[in-house]
Structure 1
Amino acid sequence: MHELTIASSLIDLASDHALRNGRGRVTGMHVRLGVMCGIARSLYFCFGPATRGTPCEGARLHIEEVPLTIFCEHCAEARSPLSLSNLRCPDCGRPSRKVLSGREMELTHIELEEEAPFPALAPVGQTLQ
């Protein structure tokens, strides 16, 4: 299951971040996922069980879905196609090969339990490959 591997990577990153900041527990993670990834629902499903026995156990997963945006060379504009499977400009109908957004997979913030003078919301800025 591809999503379980992604969940495990998120948990590893967040657990390491908590340890580096002297915190014992992660209470939440914020992730940006492009709609073309198509894994938001299944990631939610496997996230809870994957956190068992880790510093992330009980953490909430917050997913921001990033819409699909393409660049239409003919119109010279960024556009949102009508479907994920048809990357055509909705105005002129021409196909586009340049996806501007919608493929992202990024851990943006980790929420840590309040135990030390560190901020509870710590920016991470790491992108999963």
Structure 2
Amino acid sequence: MHEVSITQEVVATIAERLGDRRVTVVRLEIGKLSGVVADAVRFCFDLVAEGTTVAGARLEIAEPPGRVLCRDCAGEYEADSLIVLCPACGSAYAEVLSGNELRIRSVEVSVPCAEPAAAPRTR
């Protein structure tokens, strides 16, 4: 299951870039044609994040569908699996236009509370 190593890389990248700031939300985009199973990433995220500044963060995953262009009949269609047979002509000669994304869309971090102002000194 390569999703474990992908999830490890996502967590490591976030932790490296944000240093010791506590991460509260991680938003990923995993296209339906990326070859990555979003449910598998969800399954292993908490385990992989354990012991890092990403531990306890909420994971949100957008799963955009694939858009494909048939190179034989020039038709465009939506695909949600890696088998991209044109529904119009049956051709597999296709170009993936979108849906193969795998990226970190955004990350939210907690803001440290401001320290209370020191009480004025009296003599």
Do they superpose with TM above 0.5? yes
In the alignment, the residues of structure 2 paired with residue 113 and residue 17 of structure 1 have an alpha-carbon distance, to the nearest angstrom, of 15
2:88 aligned residue (88, 91, 94):
91
> 3-state DSSP class of the match of 1:45?
helix
Which has the larger share of strand? 1
8 A contact 1:80–1:90 mirrored in 2: no
Aligned twin of 1:104: 101
Q: State which of 35, 50, 53 in structure 2 corresponds to 1:52.
A: 50
Indicate yes or no: 2:60 matched with 1:62: yes
Paired with 2:112 and 2:32, the residues of 1 have a C-alpha distance of: 36
Partner of 1:56, secondary structure, is coil
Q: Percent identity?
A: 30
Equivalent position of 2:7 in the other structure: 7
Partner AA of 2:41 in structure 1: L
TM-score of the aligned structures, taking structure 2 as reference length: 0.78
Shift in Å at residue 85 of structure 1? Answer: 4.9
Give the TM-score, by structure 1 length. Answer: 0.75
State the aligned residue count.
112
2:72 touches 2:93 (CA, 8 Å); kept in 1? no
One-letter amino acid of the structure 2 residue matched with residue 107 of structure 1: I
Structure 1 alignment gaps of length 5 or more: 117-129
Q: Which runs of 4+ in 1 moved over 3 A?
A: none
